[in-house]
């Protein structure tokens, strides 16, 4: 075969694969783009109603003149639940990751690592069921509340925080630990104030990932936080959240509630997008300030 | 085991060869110098100008050998940065060539002072000078063998032989002084014999020094570590010699 | 072993798992002198100095037998953290804390091990940087990130950081092997000055470096101490044929 033919065939093959790859990218992006498009189309109008972010959700209403109102309580509810969940999962997760990574000689460290790995794959509804079975049933005073809802979300967040923190710690070169120890700094101080600080961008990214995940979960909240259409008056009572609202109202036969659901969907999407972008920028700045390590 | 054990070291492959060559070159220079002594003495003894001239013409080559070895040794030092035995050998070679140069120069000088006609004089003078020549040439050969074949034992033995040459030197001096005092001798030639005897003593001394540097190169020992300290005295103060024809100054005590 | 030894090992054997990396090493290091440890890769020289400040045991499954005596006390009977404050270490690859500025790096030991006043810390930082011959080069950018320095400067920063802890002994594990010749020369000059105040022990694979900076040199081979003595003697007239074979490049 003449060299020219071989060369031409190779080029053809190369171009074919490039085109196929491009097509698969389009195939992957299509669902995402179509979701955003649909959300804008169906929820966009609702979003710009003046009281959308502060008013309570509408009751079932079949009249033509039904008002579509707001999602205020659910925004607050989501924030509270995420707050509680983070307050549990971040310290617990980070400390567990530190133990697993820095005090590795004990087999317990490896057990923690493995457990966190497994738990990240557990469906979130099972987490909800777990919290239901342990807390909702046995502690009737807080049975359906922000507390149990927060617990359920933290059960989802903690394994993620553990895994990403551990990964972040592992990436910190050993020379840093040795340098700190050789200066006569105790191990725990070195770990917390030097090694962990060096891993901070990774930890922050991990927390961000966990928060994003938890913010969008409805299943675990179904039988823990339960949901509510009113502004929360205390943490011991059922509380609403955006994913729950979307779940309930999307299935509603009443068009005003469906519209609210779409509005909430769009809002949640945009919120996630914005928080993502802002956090990444902040983490990038953190990395730059640390010397582009 | 590797096929070539030196392949993994930082040591260049020709290293050992270079050291051996340095020593071989020093030995070659020593042989050249020895030849000048041998022929210089014979020219002087026979009063042969042609032979003497031949020796004088060899001086330039002696200089060239000295310079070449010095150059090669410095290059070895700067490029190989040797340590331990290799360093001692290189440093030793530098000093050894100085001593060998002096040996050659002394032979050169014997040719230089050659006068017309064979050396006349009493038989015992001729005899003692002949014995000095034999002893001294043998010492030079021995120091070269010690250097070329890594024989520290031969090198150390040179010091004992140097003592013998010293004895011969004293004998020669005694005879020469006797001749000078008697009015019947050929004074100029006898005075030259005095020089030649002294040259032989110096050659033996330089051969000893070559031995000393060879011992240092091979073992690292310095002279004081294997030679007892010898306290030198003026000849006149040393114990009297066996023959009665000594000086008019009786030794004290 | 001379009574003038600042720190010495007595029959020291150190293990990684079941295998000993160094065996029965007895070696004394004189005060206010530079001692070098040379030997081929894997001879145990890094393990040896890591035992001198108890860094060896920070690796899993390690064990030490024997003693290391600092000013008459066995450091294995003392608190390891305190030992490491008295015996500092500089590593092969410069390892400044990348998240910190130059100032914070040098003052790290002070800030983490006690809370001296700001003035005291400032003074100590300047002094350490001067001792490490780095002050002039960084005095106008002392809050700049440590990673903005060149390799040689970073290593001097690590030296300053170690000195700021005011150790008595300074261990250096091949401190110049990651640096270019000029940076190396600067650090060698530094080492020769440091011995006025500290006892310096340096591991090096570069024999010429040992010849240049060390007063005494030890040669190790496969975990054992073969020979130890004044540097000039070891390089001109080694006593052991194994030593001679190594330093003339016949193996290793």
Predicted confidence at residue C55, as pLDDT, reads 95
CA distance C222 to chain B (A): 17
Domain spanning A72-289: which superfamily?
MetI-like (1.10.3720.10)
CA distance B246 to chain C (A): 48
Pick the CATH number of B15-222 from 1.20.58.220, 3.40.50.620, 3.30.420.10, 3.80.10.10: 1.20.58.220
Best residue in C82, C94, C95 to probe A by mutation, most A CBs within 10 Å?
C95
Whether residue B180 contacts residue B191, with contact meaning beta carbons closer than 8 Å, is answered with yes
**Distance between CA atoms of B221 and B218, rounded to whole angstroms?**
8
Give C94's pLDDT tier (boundaries 50, 70, 90). very high
Q: DSSP assignment, residue A56?
A: P
* Cβ partners under 8 Å of residue B214, min gap 6: B92, B96, B143, B146, B147, B152, B155
Predicted confidence at residue C1, as pLDDT, reads 47
CA distance C248 to chain B (A): 6
Closest CA to A68 of A85, A94, A50: A50
C229 touches chain B (CB under 8 A): no
Whether residue C55 contacts residue C173, with contact meaning beta carbons closer than 8 Å, is answered with no
Using one digit for the tens of pLDDT, what is the confidence trace for A38-56?
Answer: 888 887 777 777 677 777 7
- Which of A230-234, B185-189, C89-93 is the least confident region? B185-189
* Cβ partners under 8 Å of residue C173, min gap 6: C46, C49, C50, C89, C90, C91, C92, C203
Q: Which residues pair with C28 in a beta bridge?
A: C8
Place of tokens 């490490």: C132
A4-12 average pLDDT score: 88
A202 touches chain C (CB under 8 A): no
**Distance between CA atoms of A218 and A124, rounded to whole angstroms?**
9
Helical (H) or strand (E) element with A67:
none
Give C3's pLDDT tier (boundaries 50, 70, 90). low
B17-38 average pLDDT score: 96
pLDDT at C180 over 80: yes
Best residue in C53, C99, C165 to probe A by mutation, most A CBs within 10 Å?
C99
pLDDT at A1 over 70: no
CA distance B95 to chain C (A): 17
Domain spans in chain A, listed from the N-terminal domain onward? 1-45, 72-289
**Distance between CA atoms of A158 and A57, rounded to whole angstroms?**
31
A273 touches chain C (CB under 8 A): no
Alpha-helix runs per DSSP H in chain C: 45-52, 80-86, 102-106, 108-112, 118-131, 135-138, 151-164, 181-194, 207-213, 231-236, 241-247
Using one digit for the tens of pLDDT, what is the confidence trace for C16-72?
Answer: 999 999 999 999 999 999 999 999 988 999 999 999 999 999 988 899 999 999 999
Give A68's pLDDT tier (boundaries 50, 70, 90). low
Closest CB to A184 among C58, C84, C99: C84
Closest CA to A111 of A123, A96, A92: A96
pLDDT at B123 over 90: no
The helix-helix angle for A107-120 and A72-102 (nearest 10°) equals: 150
C235 touches chain B (CB under 8 A): yes
pLDDT at B253 over 70: no
pLDDT at B247 over 80: no
C partners (3+ CB pairs within 8 A) are A, B
pLDDT at A285 over 50: yes
User: Is B11–C249 a contact, with Cβ atoms under 8 angstroms apart?
Assistant: yes
Closest CB to A193 among C112, C146, C147: C112
A partners (3+ CB pairs within 8 A) are C
Q: Please provide the distance, in angstroms rounded to a whole number, between the alpha carbons at the two ends of chain B.
A: 72
Predicted confidence at residue B248, as pLDDT, reads 47
Look at B152 and A36; give whichever has higher pLDDT: B152
CA dihedral B80, B81, B84, B90 (to 10 degrees): 70
C163-175 average pLDDT score: 95
pLDDT at B3 over 50: no
> For A197, which residue in chain C has the nearest alpha carbon?
C99
Using one digit for the tens of pLDDT, what is the confidence trace for A134-176?
Answer: 888 888 777 788 888 899 999 999 999 999 999 999 999 999 9
pLDDT at B25 over 90: yes
pLDDT at A114 over 60: yes
Q: Would you say how long chain A is, in residues?
A: 293
C55 touches chain A (CB under 8 A): yes
Using one digit for the tens of pLDDT, what is the confidence trace for A180-207?
Answer: 999 999 999 999 999 999 899 889 989 9
Look at B10 and B96; give whichever has higher pLDDT: B96
**Distance between CA atoms of C168 and C88, rounded to whole angstroms?**
8
Contacts of A175 in chain C (CB under 8 A): 91, 93, 95
Contacts of A178 in chain C (CB under 8 A): 55, 58, 91, 95
**Distance between CA atoms of A257 and A172, rounded to whole angstroms?**
50
C6-14 average pLDDT score: 95
Whether residue C74 contacts residue C67, with contact meaning beta carbons closer than 8 Å, is answered with yes
pLDDT at A72 over 50: yes
- What is the per-residue DSSP string for C63-76? EEEEEEEETTEEGG
Predicted confidence at residue C2, as pLDDT, reads 55
Using one digit for the tens of pLDDT, what is the confidence trace for C107-145?
Answer: 999 999 887 889 999 999 999 999 999 999 999 999 999
Predicted confidence at residue C51, as pLDDT, reads 96
Closest CB to C99 among A181, A190, A290: A290
**Chains C and A are touching, with contact defined as 3 or more CB–CB pairs separated by less than 8 Å:** yes
User: Is A175–C93 a contact, with Cβ atoms under 8 angstroms apart?
Assistant: yes
User: Is B83–C237 a contact, with Cβ atoms under 8 angstroms apart?
Assistant: no
**Distance between CA atoms of C246 and C40, rounded to whole angstroms?**
8
* Cβ partners under 8 Å of residue C220, min gap 6: C22, C25, C37, C38, C39, C43, C44, C45, C48, C226
User: Is C112–A183 a contact, with Cβ atoms under 8 angstroms apart?
Assistant: yes
C192-207 average pLDDT score: 94
User: Is A290–C82 a contact, with Cβ atoms under 8 angstroms apart?
Assistant: no
Best residue in A182, A190, A191 to probe C by mutation, most C CBs within 10 Å?
A182
C42 touches chain B (CB under 8 A): no
Does CATH place domain C5-99+168-247 in 3.40.50.300? yes
Contacts of C88 in chain A (CB under 8 A): 182-183
Q: Note every long-range contact of C174-177, with CB atoms under 8 Å and residues 24 or more positions apart, other chains counting.
A: C174/C46, C174/C92, C174/C203, C174/C204, C174/C205, C175/C90, C175/C91, C175/C92, C175/C202, C176/C204, C176/C206, C176/C209, C177/C92, C177/C204, C177/C205, C177/C206
CA distance C42 to chain B (A): 15
- Which of B35-49, B119-133, B180-194 is the least confident region? B180-194
| Mean of all residue pLDDT scores within chain B | 88
Complex ipTM value: 0.92
Closest CB to C55 among A178, A190, A193: A178
**Distance between CA atoms of B247 and B189, rounded to whole angstroms?**
21
Predicted confidence at residue A2, as pLDDT, reads 67
B150-162 average pLDDT score: 94
Predicted confidence at residue B141, as pLDDT, reads 97
User: Is C98–A290 a contact, with Cβ atoms under 8 angstroms apart?
Assistant: yes
Q: DSSP assignment, residue C115?
A: -
pLDDT at B5 over 80: no
C41 touches chain B (CB under 8 A): no
User: Is B84–C237 a contact, with Cβ atoms under 8 angstroms apart?
Assistant: yes
Closest CB to A184 among C61, C85, C147: C85
User: Is A181–C84 a contact, with Cβ atoms under 8 angstroms apart?
Assistant: yes
User: Is C98–A293 a contact, with Cβ atoms under 8 angstroms apart?
Assistant: yes
pLDDT at A235 over 90: no
Look at A285 and B24; give whichever has higher pLDDT: B24
C111 touches chain A (CB under 8 A): no
Place of tokens 């928080």: A275
pLDDT at A245 over 90: no
A173 touches chain C (CB under 8 A): yes
Give B13's pLDDT tier (boundaries 50, 70, 90). confident
**Chains B and C are touching, with contact defined as 3 or more CB–CB pairs separated by less than 8 Å:** yes
Closest CB to A197 among C60, C99, C147: C99
**Dihedral over Cα of B118, B123, B125, B127: its sign:** positive
User: Is B84–C250 a contact, with Cβ atoms under 8 angstroms apart?
Assistant: no
Give C10's pLDDT tier (boundaries 50, 70, 90). very high
Domain spans in chain C, listed from the N-terminal domain onward? 5-99+168-247
Using one digit for the tens of pLDDT, what is the confidence trace for B180-225?
Answer: 888 776 777 788 889 999 999 999 999 999 999 999 999 999 999 9
User: Is A175–C91 a contact, with Cβ atoms under 8 angstroms apart?
Assistant: yes
Give A266's pLDDT tier (boundaries 50, 70, 90). confident
**Distance between CA atoms of C158 and C155, rounded to whole angstroms?**
5
* Cβ partners under 8 Å of residue B19, min gap 6: B76, B86, B89, B90
The per-residue b/e assignment along C205-236, b for 16 or more CB within 10 angstroms, e otherwise, is bebebbbbbbbbbbbbbebbbbbbbebeebbb
Best residue in A175, A183, A187, A287 to probe C by mutation, most C CBs within 10 Å?
A183
Place of tokens 């700094």: A185
Cα–chain center distance at B99? 7
Predicted confidence at residue A65, as pLDDT, reads 64
User: Is B9–C251 a contact, with Cβ atoms under 8 angstroms apart?
Assistant: yes
- What is the per-residue DSSP string for A134-186? IIITT-GGGSSSHHHHHHHHHHHHHHHHHHHHHHHHHHS-HHHHHHHHHTT--
């Amino acid at each position: 075969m003449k060299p020219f033919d071989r060369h031409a065939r190779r080029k053809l093959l190369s171009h074919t694969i490039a085109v196929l790859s491009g097509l698969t990218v389009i195939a992957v992006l299509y669902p995402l783009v179509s979701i955003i498009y649909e959300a804008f189309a169906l929820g966009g109008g609702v979003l710009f109603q003046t009281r959308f972010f502060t008013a309570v959700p509408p009751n079932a209403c079949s009249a033509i003149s039904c008002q579509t109102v707001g999602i205020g309580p659910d925004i607050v509810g989501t924030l509270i639940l995420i707050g509680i969940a983070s307050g549990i999962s971040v310290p617990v997760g980070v400390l567990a990751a530190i133990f697993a990574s820095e005090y590795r000689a004990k087999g317990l460290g490896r057990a923690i690592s493995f457990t966190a790995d497994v738990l990240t794959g557990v469906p979130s509804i099972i987490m909800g069921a777990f919290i239901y079975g342990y807390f909702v049933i046995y502690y009737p005073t807080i049975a359906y509340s922000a507390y149990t809802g927060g617990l359920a979300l933290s059960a989802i967040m903690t394994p993620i925080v553990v895994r990403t923190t551990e990964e972040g710690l592992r990436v910190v070169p050993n020379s840093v630990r040795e340098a700190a120890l050789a200066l006569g700094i105790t191990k725990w101080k070195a770990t917390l104030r030097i090694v962990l600080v060096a891993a901070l961008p990774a930890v922050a990214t991990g927390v961000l990932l966990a928060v994003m995940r938890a913010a969008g979960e409805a299943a675990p909240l179904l039988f823990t936080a339960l949901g509510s259409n009113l502004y929360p008056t205390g943490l011991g009572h059922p509380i609403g959240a955006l994913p729950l609202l979307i779940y309930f109202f999307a299935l509603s036969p009443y068009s005003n509630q469906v519209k609210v659901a779409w509005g909430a969907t769009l809002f949640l999407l945009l919120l996630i997008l914005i928080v993502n972008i802002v956090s990444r920028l902040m983490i990038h700045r953190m990395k730059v300030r640390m010397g582009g390590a | 085991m590797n096929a070539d054990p030196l392949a993994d070291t930082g040591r260049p492959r020709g290293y050992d060869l270079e050291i051996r060559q340095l020593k071989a070159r020093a030995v070659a220079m020593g042989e050249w110098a020895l030849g000048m002594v041998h022929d210089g003495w014979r020219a002087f003894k026979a009063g042969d100008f042609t032979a003497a001239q031949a020796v004088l013409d060899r001086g330039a080559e002696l200089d060239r050998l000295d310079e070449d070895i010095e150059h090669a040794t410095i290059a070895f030092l700067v490029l190989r940065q040797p340590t331990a035995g290799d360093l001692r050998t290189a440093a030793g070679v530098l000093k050894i060539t100085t001593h060998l140069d002096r040996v050659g120069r002394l032979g050169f000088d014997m040719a230089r002072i050659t006068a017309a006609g064979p050396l006349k004089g009493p038989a015992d003078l001729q005899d003692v000078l002949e014995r000095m020549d034999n002893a001294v040439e043998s010492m030079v050969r021995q120091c070269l063998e010690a250097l070329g074949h890594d024989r520290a034992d031969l090198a150390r033995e040179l010091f004992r032989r140097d003592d013998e040459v010293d004895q011969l030197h004293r004998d020669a001096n005694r005879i020469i002084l006797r001749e000078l005092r008697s009015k019947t001798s050929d004074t100029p030639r006898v005075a030259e014999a005095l020089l030649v005897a002294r040259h032989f003593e110096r050659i033996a001394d330089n051969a000893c020094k070559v031995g000393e540097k060879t011992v240092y190169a091979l073992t690292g020992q310095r002279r004081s570590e294997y030679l007892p300290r010898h306290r030198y005295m003026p000849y006149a103060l040393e114990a009297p010699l066996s023959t009665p024809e000594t000086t008019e100054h009786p030794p004290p005590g | 072993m001379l009574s003038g030894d600042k720190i010495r090992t007595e029959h020291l054997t150190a293990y990684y798992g079941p295998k000993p990396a160094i065996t029965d090493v007895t070696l004394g290091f004189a005060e206010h002198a530079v001692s070098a440890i040379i030997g081929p890769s894997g001879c145990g020289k890094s393990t040896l100095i890591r035992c001198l400040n108890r860094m060896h045991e920070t690796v899993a499954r390690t064990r030490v037998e024997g003693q290391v005596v600092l000013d008459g006390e066995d450091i294995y009977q003392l608190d390891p953290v305190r030992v490491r404050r008295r015996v500092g270490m500089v590593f092969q690859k410069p390892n400044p804390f990348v998240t910190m500025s130059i100032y914070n790096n040098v003052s790290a030991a002070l800030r983490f091990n006690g809370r001296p006043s700001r003035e005291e810390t400032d003074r100590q930082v300047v002094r350490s940087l001067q001792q490490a011959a780095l002050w002039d080069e960084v005095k106008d950018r002392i809050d700049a990130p440590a990673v903005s320095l060149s390799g040689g400067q970073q290593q001097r920063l690590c030296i300053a950081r170690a000195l700021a802890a005011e150790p008595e002994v300074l261990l250096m594990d091949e401190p110049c092997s990651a640096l270019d010749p000029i940076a190396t020369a600067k650090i060698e000059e530094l080492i020769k000055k440091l011995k006025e105040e500290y006892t310096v022990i340096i591991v090096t694979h570069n024999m010429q470096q040992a010849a240049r900076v060390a007063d005494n040199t030890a040669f190790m081979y496969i975990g054992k101490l073969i020979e130890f003595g004044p540097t000039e003697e070891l390089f001109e007239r080694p006593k052991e044929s194994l030593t001679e074979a190594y330093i003339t490049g016949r193996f290793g």
